[in-house]
Amino acid sequence: MSKETKSQAKPWLSSRRRSAIPAILDPIRRLFEPPQRLIGSYVKKGQVVADLGCGPGYYAIPMAEIVGSEGKVYAVDLGKHSIRTLEKKAKKHGYRNIETHASSAADLSFIKDRSVDFVLANGLL
């Protein structure tokens, strides 16, 4: 499988970012912290979920894949660079169900009805 095809099939494989955990280590991280397996028990098709402190989307992209076009992922991070990286990945791979916010997780007033089905806050301060 070509590099391009592989990255299109599993978009969370590809990322370029500034982060405490460089993207090059993602394959190793996935061995110990497989995102789809970890969130798969909680996140279901059609749900509205929030990833607080989403970074460049290690969990937000798999969450978007699971909830599908009927669902939605609110992806929130203080870091504008992380949010831009996630937006590029989402656009490249056609995820229209991720709503990004470069802001503090302390203000979630943009969430409709102030209600979601699941919240992930991994590594959030």
- Site residues (CB under 6 A) for ligand SAM, limited to 23-52: none
Q: How far is CA 58 from CA 3, 50, 113, in A?
A: 19, 13, 26
Q: How far is the CB of 46 from ligand SAM (least distance, A)?
A: 23
Rounded to a whole number of angstroms, the minimum distance from the CB of residue 113 to ligand SAM is 21
Nearer to ligand SAM, 33 or 70 (CB): 33
Rounded CA-CA distance 30/12 in Å is 10
Give the number of other Cβ atoms within 10 Å of residue 51's Cβ: 31
Decide if residue 74 touches ligand SAM (CB under 6 A). Answer: no
Q: If binding is defined by CB under 6 A, does position 82 make contact with ligand SAM?
A: yes
User: Looking only at Cα atoms, what is the longest distance across the chain?
Assistant: 44
Residue closer to ligand SAM, measured from CB, 48 or 105 = 105
Residue 114: φ, ψ to 5°? 55, 35
Residues that bind ligand SAM (CB under 6 A): 20, 53-55, 58-59, 76-79, 82, 104-105, 122-125
